[in-house]
Structure 1
Amino acid sequence: MARRRIPTADGNAAVRAVAAGSSDRTERTTAVRFSLEELAFRAPGNSVEVRVPPLGVTQCVEGPRHTRGTPPNVIETDADTWLALVLGTLGWDAAVTSGVVAASGRRADLSALLPLFPQASPTPVTGSA
């Protein structure tokens, strides 16, 4: 299981602040990193690598363990898109279709795991299946 580096109270506070519209860099960075930790906590494993450069990366989802080289299942996006996905203001399918999320590999689909914090967001999910 992934080790938490951000205290849950601090992470949840940052997520709530971002959901309320905060553009504070520290809060947004904490929200991204905390949400990556939360994803790894909810879907432990090493078969998918989720990258939100330059803020963070995590491995998650059960399956074959990746040990070296480029992982076979990679998801990459920017911080704003990642936060919209975890808050539920952007749906997975819409993000992939529009190209704001790059997802490669058979297991690179987080639609069943997102949003992580829908209760924090004042606006509904769009473009999800």
Structure 2
Amino acid sequence: MDALHGHWGVAPPKLGDFERWTTLPTFQPHLWQVAWHVESGRVAGQVKPFINEEQNRRRGETEFISVGAPWRRRGLARALIAKALHAQRDAGMSDSVLGVDADNAHDAARLYESCGFRVTRRNMVLRKPLVG
């Protein structure tokens, strides 16, 4: 959660969220790639891919990508993404998708494109405050 602080759409977890998440079919820790900072005992970075069996496709999803501030700009995200893609391939997937906030302060879209991902669809969220 520390690494995702301030990112669009991220909110602190509510009581019971973790327990609910562990019951979902997309909870697949055998595919996860996690880097630990041994000295501090903290997670330095993570990628939590999953395979959505309900889609009936050979497509994995590379999601929950984050690297803590002390470990950014060292190639950790790229290495974890590469390992996540290999894990999906080894599980029989032929391609992988992900979603990204194009305005991400860390230029995540550029990183993902450098890892071989290509933009295939863009979405826009519009907001208007209602006064009165």
Asked if these proteins are the same fold (TM beyond 0.5), I'd say no
Larger Rg: 2
The structure showing larger relative contact order (alpha-carbon pairs under 8 Å, at least 6 residues apart) is 1
Instruction: Give the TM-score, by structure 1 length.
Output: 0.30
Greater per-residue helix proportion: 1
Instruction: Give the TM-score, by structure 2 length.
Output: 0.29
